[in-house]
Amino acid sequence: MTLGERFEPDALVAAACAQAGSDDFGDDGWQPGLTRVTDDLVSEARLSAIGVEIAYLDMIRALKNRLEVIAWRRQHPEIAEQPVTAPIFIVGQPRTGTTILYDLLAQDPQLRAPLTWEVDAPCPVPQPETYHSDPRIAQTQASIELSEQIIPGFLAFHPMGALVGQECVRITASEFTSMIFSVQYRLPNYYRWLLYDADHSGAYRYHRIFLQHLQSGVPGQWLLKSPAHLWQLDALLAVYPDALIVQTHRDPLNVISSIAALTHHLRRMGSDESSIAECAAQSYEEIVVGLDRAMALRDSGAVPADRVIDVQFSDFMSDPWATIKAIYTSLGRELSSEAATKMRDFLAANPGDGGRGRYTWSDTGLDAAEVRDRVRAYQDRYGVRTEELR
């Protein structure tokens, strides 16, 4: 079988339908994204033999999960009537502390984060009594640990776990309008389509369907996270008008070198041909577009000021507890002693390592003066401190 045949959209759809026992995808807005992803997987991704298998499974999982969620919704129409109230979204450039902030806030029993296992295997709907013992947890954890065997050191670079909160890009993968694909694989045409031309409204509508699905089993106020939301704050608020947004801020130059190194690390799982400089060029383009777009939306009032809480990465790293208390005050919430204790215990068990030299600016091949000039308006707008380049 040729690579083109392996990733032929109709064949992927047929295989997913056979596995799910359904052919109802809901609406069909996901189809253009699938075509663009698969075109680039064939012609641009430089997949290794194992990369072909990983990418194939990614496509099938995204399709199958969508089929199963829609089928469950048809069988339980009351799910569609349930509101998603005041979700909290952590956004910001990648590598700006969003993950550890997300993990810490997720320790609050009053907040509900979508865990990796239920995002990867959402059907049947998770239930409270088996939420931390469901057999899907062990299956998901085994898959995560396999990634560490393929690329040793991966989990140190980007910690993951079946019982840890998952990013929204894993949800919107089923709309095939998601940064998860263009980070994990070299997809130059797809990422530019995603950045400039794609309609993300369908991805957020499906995202809401997915949250309704999960909360029908285990309810709660949603805590969500993805740097990708920074690029689409207007589309997010169109679906979640009462959303609360926590935006993290950091010197974009160290962000670019860090995300380029992580992207390169991820792509090595599926390709023997990746370079940090190529990843950095993509990251640079994406970051400046995202920052400019978010600033314009906020300054125009399209994103109301009272719906956004700004967090400086440097402040968070130097005193996480002061930052968290300030966030709770802005949210109008009380940080309970139980939540605070759980957060401190989590941080003690997951202290991080500060990067340990895994990335340096020199690896990017970019001109620091040019990039600094390009992001100066963002730094001035939010008072973002210039960091020493690593």
Distance CA 124, CA 72 (A): 8
Rounded Cα–Cα distance for residues 186 and 183 (Å): 7
Mean of per-residue pLDDT scores for the chain: 95
Are 343 and 223 contacting, i.e. CB atoms less than 8 angstroms apart? no
pLDDT at residue 161 above 70?
yes
Residue 43 lies in a domain: no
pLDDT of residue 384: 97
Q: Among 389, 250, 365, 364, which residue's Cα sits nearest to residue 318? A: 250
**pLDDT tier, 278 (very low <50, low <70, confident <90, very high otherwise):** very high
| Phi, then psi, of 244 in degrees rounded to 5 | -110, 130
Do the domain assignments include residue 369? yes
pLDDT band at residue 202, thresholds of 50, 70 and 90? Answer: very high
Q: 356: left (phi > 0), else alpha (psi -120 to 50), else beta?
A: left
- Domain presence at residue 203: yes
- What are the Cα distances from residue 136, in Å, to 19, 112, 130, 164? 17, 19, 10, 14
Q: Does the model's pTM come out above 0.85? A: yes
pLDDT at 151: 76
The residue with tokens 């993509």 is 282
Amino acid at 143: S
**Which CATH number belongs to the domain containing residue 282 in this structure?**
3.40.50.300
Calculate mean pLDDT across residues 46-61: 97
Residue 271 within any structural domain of the chain:
yes
Degrees, nearest 5: CA angle 155-339-161: 20
Mean pLDDT (whole number) for 237-256: 97
Rg (CA), the chain: 20
With a cut of 80, say whether residue 269 has pLDDT above it: yes
Q: In what order do the strands lie in the sheet with 88-92?
A: 111-112, 221-225, 88-92, 244-249, 308-312
Q: What pLDDT is recorded for position 153?
A: 76
Name the more confident of 197 and 353. 197
How does residue 146 score in pLDDT terms, banded at 50, 70 and 90?
confident
Residue 27 lies in a domain: no
Tell which residue, 308, 239, 244, 303, has the closest CA to residue 83: 239
Q: Specify the pLDDT at position 372.
A: 98
**What mean pLDDT comes out for the span 214-220?**
98
Pair 327, 89: CB distance under 8 Å: no
- Is 60 exceeded by the pLDDT of residue 356? no
Instruction: Tell me phi and psi for residue 312, to 5 degrees.
Output: -85, 130
Residue among 344, 354, 385, 388 at smallest CA distance from 368: 388
**Which pLDDT score, from 0 to 100, does residue 355 have?**
53
pLDDT at 159 over 60: yes
Tell me which of 330 and 152 has the higher pLDDT: 330
Given a cut of 90, is residue 232 above it in pLDDT? yes
Amino acid at 195: L
Q: Which of 254, 210, 250 is nearest to 230 (CA)?
A: 250
- pLDDT tens digits along 280-315: 999 999 999 999 999 999 999 999 999 999 999 999
Mean pLDDT throughout 366-383? 98
Is 118's pLDDT higher than 70? yes
Average pLDDT of 20-24? 98
The pLDDT value given to residue 154: 74
Mean pLDDT of 245-273: 95
What is the distance between the alpha carbons of residues 53 and 146, in angstroms, rounded to a whole number?
A: 13
Three-state DSSP string of 220-279: CEEEEECHHHHHHHHHHHHHCCCCEEEEEECCHHHHHHHHHHHHHHHHCCCECCCCHHHH
pLDDT at residue 353 tops 60: no
121 is written with which tokens?
């295997």
Q: What is the pLDDT of residue 243?
A: 98
Q: Is residue 266, in this structure, part of any structural domain at all?
A: yes
Q: Is 276 domain-assigned?
A: yes
Q: Report the percent of the chain where pLDDT is more than 70.
A: 98
Has residue 181 been placed in a domain? yes
State what percent of residues in the chain have pLDDT above 90. Answer: 92
CA angle (250, 251, 257) in 5-degree steps: 105
Sort 306 into a burial class: Cβ within 10 Å, 0-12 / 13-18 / 19+: exposed
**What is the total count of domains within the chain?**
1
Taking residues 362-387, report their average pLDDT: 97
The pLDDT of residue 354 is above 60: no
Mean pLDDT of 150-168: 85
Domain of residue 273, residue span: 84-382
